[in-house]
A and B are shown apart, each in its own frame.
Chain A
Amino acid sequence: MTINDFIEKFAEAVEIEDASALSANTEFRKLAEWDSLAYLSVIALLDEEFDVQIEMDDFRKLNSIQDIFDACQKD
């Protein structure tokens, strides 16, 4: 999956209608749509697409959409 595909799926999960408003550098915590419910959707997205679970203590360190994408790339 490319970062652009991921941005689209992220937008869908967080229910942002226009994915083009987002970029790899978007700081997702500053989005109006970001809340604990959106977080659950992102957890489901990461599990479904990458078979990855990121614990909350680690997830807290991530700021941009690119950060999430990078954290999902397995060695």
Chain B
Amino acid sequence: MAYLQYEGVGITALSAAVPKRVIANREYTEVFTKEEAAEIVDKTGIEQRRFADQNTCSSDLCLAAAERLISDNGINKEDIDLLVFISQTPDYRMPATSVTLQHRLGLGQKTIAFDINLGCSAFLYGLSVVYGMMEQSNLKKALLLDGETRSKVYSPRDRRSAFLFGDGGVAALIERDPKFGKSTFSLNSDGSRADLIMIPAGGYRKMSSAETVVEKVVDEFGNMRSDEQGYMRGGDVFNFVIREIPRDIKNTLTFAEKSVDDFDYVVFHQANNFINSYIMKKMKLDANKIPSTISKFGNTSSVSVPLTIVSELKGKLDGNKQLLLSAFGVGMTWATGIVPFVDCKISEIVEVENGQAV
């Protein structure tokens, strides 16, 4: 049973950045009709998303969020000893984007910097890695950056994914303090389902070629994409999520000897409203405790949990709050976190255009 527990480490400040460009899904009709768009929006609950322009990468969103976090909290950059960047849409295949961010943020060469590539559950994996390193060391402060530009991953001509994904980036400051008490994480993986959500080409199994960039009709409905674009087998993802997520939450609560009633908020990965409402109904959860940004930001992969906290819980996290976090997706990987928030300082969301905060 892979449960991890940490003592006296927590998120002391949190910030987020999104592209300035808003995509209104009901008007996203270059490829599909207004009726088709409306049908999808009604079912998924995703009214709007943010799309990065060609000059904005995940790293730029994270940089803007991190600079805001550093200035809002008067952080001395020399105190940042660890920088972890989470993304599946990095700047380059090499070097690691975290290292370029060490330089762009003006951090010292003693900074420990590396990337984590995982997908929708990755913020919880990342928190767990950083909490572990912080607990067992004399590192002063850690920055966990998490950014995704999923708008660049999926084909606008594939109805099954064209209306779901959006872009965003977050920065979390992580420090040691006994006030945080205990955190518990459950981290899981099932590689037998690797083909449920995938970008088949562009790695080293199927390298980029003239053939991999050709858009092809992929099903009987006329949906089109290339092998360099992502696809999702939504039905099986849904089957998987409704089986595994409630079970993992229940088991983690049992392990930590807690009940759902002990939590001030439950923050889920923002997949879409259909999946999220069904989980809420199945687990008989109190909707008042479940913040959502599905309608305004769509599915931003690993960014969705912290982005939802910044967007919806700003001003609500004074004092000691208990949060239950749950995220799931590509891999498949899924994670549950019992994470205390104590006086977490949350910045206003920054908007980014042409790679710069505006």
Contacts and interface: CB of A to CB of B under 8 A. Distances in A.
B43 A48 contact: no
Given A48-B282, A53-B243, A59 B40 contact: no
B274 interface: yes
B239 A36 contact: no
Contacts of A55: 236, 239
Interface stretch (A3-11, A37-45, A63-71): A37-45
Contact residues of A: prevailing secondary structure = helix
A35 B221 contact: yes
Interface residues of A, number: 14
Contacts, number: 42
A27 interface: no
A31 interface: no
Interface residues of B, number: 18
Interface in B136-163: 159-160
A40 B221 CA distance: 16
A21 interface: no
B42 to A, nearest CB: 9
B235 A43 contact: yes
- Binding site secondary structure of chain B: helix
A36 B236 CA distance: 11
A37 to B, nearest CB: 5
A66 B234 CA distance: 24
Interface in B298-353: none
A37 B39 contact: yes
A56 B233 contact: yes
A44 B278 contact: yes
A36 B234 contact: yes
B238 interface: yes
Given A47-B242, A48-B282, A53-B242, A37 B235 contact: no
A55 B196 CA distance: 11
A19 interface: no
Contacts of B243: 47, 53
Contacts of A39: 234-235
Contacts of B242: 43-44, 47, 53
Interface of B: 39-40, 43, 159-160, 221, 233-236, 238-240, 242-243, 274, 278, 282
Given A37-B39, A47-B282, 16 more contacts: A36-B159, A36-B160, A36-B234, A37-B40, A37-B43, A39-B235, A40-B234, A40-B274, A43-B238, A43-B239, A44-B242, A44-B278, A47-B242, A53-B240, A54-B239, A55-B239
Interface of A: 35-37, 39-40, 43-44, 47-48, 53-56, 59
